[in-house]
Amino acid sequence: MLNILFLRKIRTFLNILRGLRGWKLAKNLMFAGVGLLMLAALYAGFWRLLAYLEGVQLIGPMLSWKLTSMVLLMTFSMVMVSSIIISMSTLYYSFDLKFLFSCPLALRPIFMDKALETVFYSSWTLVLAILPYIIALGRVKALDAGFYLVYGFLMVPFVLLAGAAGIFFSMLVMCAFPSSRTRDITWLLGSLSVAFVYVMFRFSKPEQLLRPDSLEIVAQYIQYLQSPTAPYMPSWWVTKAMVAYCAGHWGAFAVNAGVLCLAAGALYALIYYLSGLCYMRGFSGAQGSPRFRGGTKELPEQRLAAAFQGLRAYLTLYWKDRLMLARDARYWSQVILIAALIAVYLFSIRQLPLDTPDLKSMVSFLNVGVAGFVMAAIGLRFTFPAISLEGSSYWLLKSAPVTTAAIMREKLTVSLFPSLLIGVILIAVSNRLLNADLFISVLSTFTIAVAAVVITVMGIGFGAIFPDFNVENIHQLESSYGGFLYMACCMGYLALLVGVEAWPVQMHFAQRFGRAHAWDARAVAFCAAAFLALNITALYLPWTIGRRSLEKHET
């Protein structure tokens, strides 16, 4: 029966390929081209890094293999955590499960079909991202094509083991606590796990790998390189198997590859057996809805609406969005990831090897672009999908006595304060850590506040230009054509913003270096006019085009 389900997926994929015509085909080809360019850029960076490591006398080969083991361990951890989050949706809330359960199919094949689907969705991006690293490693070490075949063979049980950990956890949790609330707890634990892995990896200071002088003695550094990296994890088995293949030690290769395959086979045999006992109980419990615990207490929005009648429609929309965010753990649990991102960002700023005050102030100014990129990435996750997440209920808003502009303004209000808060925290704390001078501190704080407003407005505008009310997964919105354009426009805007302010900053440093008459009033006026023109354009065009597009949209 499992082969029937696999055949269904293959035919679905082939039908999607046959349906690519015209603009849809061109759009996908463009995305593929951009993806290949990004992979090529990763390959170039990895090749330069590995070539440098390999050139280090005596310890070069050990350096590259140590880095490989760290990369594989990070990949395994991220796939495992991702599978915990994705398995909940795939195994218990997928849209086609009710159809599959109504078909003459056994329970275990349906479970295994969804389990392998979970493994694919939780691993394909990470596996693709480290492929340039493996190609660069093979080129630097002058390995033959067999090395890449061996790597492809080893990655199959590797990702299966990583995905199985999340599947096994979700299945047992849903069996023990068959409730829709369990999904929320699992998403919360998944967010905590991702944040923990991300923070611990950065706080471990992997730059020590490239700086042996940071350790006390050379022997300690050699011991660090030769020691296993998580010896009981599949990532170390893959590393040992690859090292054994390159050295021609076929016995060691067979042992490590055999352990990897046997572990994957045993774990999936156990999951297959337990699915017959636990899966249906968890699926049945997941279909229930949490008990309503409402009351008659007057809401804050109701009191404000009574005092300000003109804001009633806006406050009603705000009340709806506030309840949706509070009830859906997929969104508010992301606060944990944002906190981890901010912590790692500030830790990295603190670790920068900067010596002079002027250099620190210059980095503080350039930090506006980096902090803006962080805000744009968060906006891609929260602000850009805000309108599309109305889903099939958007027709209620269309039929309500409220304008499209009012809907967009309410979405903007919900997203603006968090974006502004994150941007100001990143810049203010970074300036404090770097001891930036007063001019740079004031300029960067003001700039990031303006950029936060513009990036949020662009997110709502692009979300209105490219709405998708039938989307099932928010990640589909992030990787869509509209999401790509939103990020591209944000990057272009930030580059122009930093470029416009670079001239006054240059005058400021010229004055600090003792140059007489460093400031030019006409240049400052020109930069101020360009700053206003840039921000007004970035605010007006996406918002206006998005409002008109959303007004014409038919649900």
pLDDT at 221: 46
Q: Is 47 exposed, middle or buried (0-12, 13-18, 19+ CB in 10 A)?
A: middle
pLDDT single digits (tens) 313-329: 777 777 777 777 766 65
Give dist(CA 148, CA 138) in Å, integer.
8
Judge whether residue 412 has pLDDT over 60: yes
pLDDT confidence bin for 224, thresholds 50/70/90:
very low
Least confident of 3-17, 114-128, 325-339, 423-437: 325-339
Segment 236-260, tens digit of pLDDT: 889 889 989 988 889 989 999 999 9
pLDDT value for 510: 86
Q: Band the pLDDT of 196: cuts 50, 70, 90.
A: low
In this prediction the pTM is: 0.68
**Hey, where are the domains in the chain?**
62-285, 310-552
Kindly give, in sequence order, each residue whose CB lies less than 8 Å from that of residue 55, ignoring residues fewer than 6 positions away.
none
Question: Of 9-18, 225-234, 410-419, which gets the smallest average pLDDT?
Answer: 225-234
Burial readout 136-165 (b: 16 or more C-beta within 10 A, e: otherwise)? bbbebeebeeebeebbeebbebbbbbbbbb
d(CA 484, CA 465): 13
Residue of 379, 366, 386 lying closest to 455 (CA atoms): 379
Is the model more confident about 351 or about 122? 122
Task: Look at residue 212 in the predicted model and tell me its pLDDT.
Answer: 47
pLDDT band, very low/low/confident/very high, at 455 (cuts 50, 70, 90): very high
Q: Note whether 468 and 388 are within 8 A (CB).
A: yes
75-89, 119-133, 212-226: which is most confident: 119-133
Contact 301, 111 (CB under 8 A): no
d(CA 307, CA 405): 23
Mean pLDDT of 327-340: 63
Residue 41's φ and ψ, nearest 5 degrees, are -65, -40
The end-to-end CA distance of the chain, in Å, is: 38
User: 507 vs 297, which has greater pLDDT?
Assistant: 507
Mean pLDDT, residues 155-178 taken together? 82
